[in-house]
């Protein structure tokens, strides 16, 4: 009997230790601050600490049946319009290098150390003073810097619109990027290559031949991957191109 108990302990203890290590690692990864841009993965509280009080609060009821946008002082009024705990997103009007930009941070519900939090899953940047050339975007949006270097670039034309979309997919894949992608973007378990990405929307009638001089009206920061892009490549006519920023 003692021999059996000894064998059971010898098998169980290493397993429990490994399990404990795994849980410890997962907790640390889930609490990691952000991806390379410095924003994706931050909590709502961290965004507010970084940028201050938002200009507006926004929320919408799925599937987009109604929406509301108010000032921060009217948050209680906003929440009273909905019967459940909705995601309240933050809109900021920020000055970047002398130019006016609109930042829209969209949050998804997540859990960190057993506590419910709202984490940045994507954000939109609009240039309010007019379009900016692709090569100059980083001057107003330093968060765009990871798009340089070894990022793969996919080009496609938005359906029913006269706009080209460039998707810059950065090479670094980590636990946080995979967590955000599988939780907030696409539930397909076959997608393993989630990484920081940038959707760059060019202005109307920009030529197909893209360069650093192509004019940009909006940048969307999120996570994406080659596998997911390939799933819709036929519908959008997606093609891999040389990085115009290199």
> Which residues of the chain are modeled with pLDDT < 70?
1-32, 62-64
User: Which DSSP category does 203 fall into?
Assistant: P
Give Cα 149 to chain centroid, integer Å: 19
Domain that holds residue 75: 31-241
Distances in whole angstroms, Cα of residue 87 to Cα of each of 101, 110, 175:
23, 11, 24
Give the per-residue pLDDT at 63: 62
Count up the domains in the chain and report the number: 1
185 domain-assigned:
yes
Tell me how far apart the alpha carbons of residues 90 and 126 are, in angstroms, rounded to a whole number: 14
| Residue written as token pair 């507010």 | 48
| Residue 211, token pair as written in the block | 């360069």
Report pLDDT for 14: 41
What is the reported pLDDT for 27?
39
Question: Please, are residues 239 and 162 in contact by the beta-carbon 8 Å criterion?
Answer: no
In a domain, 135, yes or no: yes
Q: Is residue 85 included in any domain, yes or no? A: yes
Residue 24 counted as domain residue: no
Instruction: List, in order, residues 6 or more apart from 81 with CB less than 8 Å away.
Output: 66, 68
Position 24 scores a pLDDT of 36
For residue 12, being part of any structural domain is answered with no
Residue 158 belongs to a domain: yes
Task: Quote the pLDDT of residue 64.
Answer: 64
27, 92, 122, 167 from 106: Cα distances, Å: 23, 12, 6, 19
What is the reported pLDDT for 68? 86
Tell me what pLDDT residue 232 has.
86
Q: What are the Cα distances from residue 9, in Å, to 37, 120, 131, 138?
A: 46, 44, 67, 57
Question: Of the candidates 134, 185, 147, 166, which has an alpha carbon nearest to the alpha carbon of residue 236?
Answer: 166
Asked if residue 21 is part of any domain, the answer here is no
- Domain membership flag for residue 206: yes
């Amino acid at each position: 009997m003692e021999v059996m108990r000894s064998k059971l302990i010898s098998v169980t203890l290493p397993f429990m230790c490994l399990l404990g290590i795994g849980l410890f690692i997962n907790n640390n990864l889930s609490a990691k601050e952000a991806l390379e841009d410095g924003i994706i993965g931050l909590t709502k509280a961290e965004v507010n600490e970084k940028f201050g009080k938002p200009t507006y609060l926004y929320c919408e009821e799925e599937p987009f049946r109604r929406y509301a946008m108010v000032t921060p002082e009217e948050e209680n009024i906003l929440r009273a319009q909905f019967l459940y705990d909705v995601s309240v997103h933050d809109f900021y009007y920020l000055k970047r290098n002398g130019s006016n930009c609109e930042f829209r941070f969209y949050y998804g519900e997540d859990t960190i150390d057993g506590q419910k939090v709202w984490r940045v899953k994507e954000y939109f940047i609009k240039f309010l003073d007019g379009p900016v050339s692709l090569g100059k975007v980083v001057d107003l949006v330093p968060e765009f810097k990871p798009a340089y270097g070894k990022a793969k670039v996919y080009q496609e034309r938005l359906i029913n619109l006269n706009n080209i979309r460039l998707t810059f997919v950065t090479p670094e894949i980590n636990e946080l990027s995979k967590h955000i992608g599988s939780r907030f973007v696409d539930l397909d378990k076959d997608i393993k290559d989630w990484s920081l990405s940038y959707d760059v929307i060019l202005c109307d009638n920009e030529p197909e031949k893209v360069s650093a001089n192509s004019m940009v009206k909006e940048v969307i920061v999120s996570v994406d991957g080659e596998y997911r892009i390939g799933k819709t490549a036929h519908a959008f006519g997606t093609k891999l191109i040389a990085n115009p920023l290199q």
